[in-house]
Amino acid sequence: MQWHIKRFSELDTITLFQIMKARVDVFVVEQACPYPELDDIDHHLDTYHIYAQQDGVITAYARTYRKGIRTCAIGRVLVHEKHRGVGLASQLMNRTIELASTYKEARDIFLSAQTQLLSFYQGLGFHAIGKSYLEDGIAHQDMVLKHK
């Protein structure tokens, strides 16, 4: 399995397609949640795509981006269903947190977690903020990791 960190402009068309397919497969099809999965954040200059690939399949993926002067965010975190339960999510998040921590002046890392994954993110040091809410019919909780 090979890990990659790339900006949108560095992604070749096949890899971009594989990432989009993985995101739609998990967030739209698997979770039965029709919503506009692709957004303009994907191609911002400050957005990085972190992913693992094995035999032409995206096995794990996340993106990180600047959300404000002092905040960056992690989102679209996924592990392909055939590769779950072997520690890929922790590897992915540790790599993504490390990368997010390099954003100049950013003190906090923000994410919107599906509530069934709260303990996983808490284990990585994230803390819940505010109240839980429904996003596209799925319960979510905003979380933050203070890193500076």
Pairing of strands 138-146, 108-114: antiparallel
What CATH number is given to the structural domain containing 79?
Answer: 3.40.630.30
3 state SS of 66: strand
CB atoms within 10 A of CB 2: 8
Which domain does 139 fall in, by range? 2-146
> In angstroms, rounded to a whole number, what is the distance separating the alpha carbons of residues 21 and 41?
17
Number of folded domains that form the chain: 1
Give the Cα separation of 54 and 66 in Å (integer).
28
72-127 per-position pLDDT tens digit: 999 999 999 899 989 999 999 999 999 998 888 788 999 999 999 999 999 999 99
pLDDT value at 141 more than 90: yes
CB neighbourhood size of 145 (10 A): 20
CA 13 to the chain's CA centroid = 20
Q: In the structure encoding, which two tokens stand for residue 41, read together?
A: 């954040």
The pLDDT-based confidence of 30 (bands split at 50, 70, 90) is confident
